[in-house]
Amino acid sequence: MKFDKYYISESIKKNLALMGFKRPTNIQYKSIPSILKGEDVLAIAQTGTGKTAAFAIPLIDMIHREKSSSRSYGIKCIVMVPTRELAMQIGEVFEKLARRTKVKAFACAEAPATLLSLFSAERRTPDSRHYLGNRVPL
């Protein structure tokens, strides 16, 4: 199956083509449809198999379809990772996949207190009152 056959935004399909991707990897093939349906997915795969794109593609597509404009306020998704390097690497993939969509992606590799001040400064919308982890209300 090719990315052209997936029910995702044309902008994302163009971004995938510009990145040189024509067909999903095994992990992407198995996870993207499930994530698009709103199902939880737990997957393990080797380095370099496309795990980041496997969850970034459907996340960006869902946010893109939900937003009324690229200037809509509120944080829609937070991806937390254990290292600065991984945060920057995942951020780059999100930025490339989100080009020409209504999604603004950025990587932030800061201490938790700095993140909390960033989130509290964000304009609040009904869906931005989620919790970061189990303990810290935004």
Domain ranges of the chain: 3-137
| 75: helix, strand or coil | coil
Question: Model-level pTM?
Answer: 0.76
The CATH topology of domain 3-137 is Rossmann fold (3.40.50)
Greater confidence (126 vs 79) lies with 79
d(CA 118, CA 114): 6
Of 11-20, 47-56, 103-112, the poorest mean pLDDT is in 103-112
Rounded (10°) CA dihedral 56, 103, 108, 81? -20
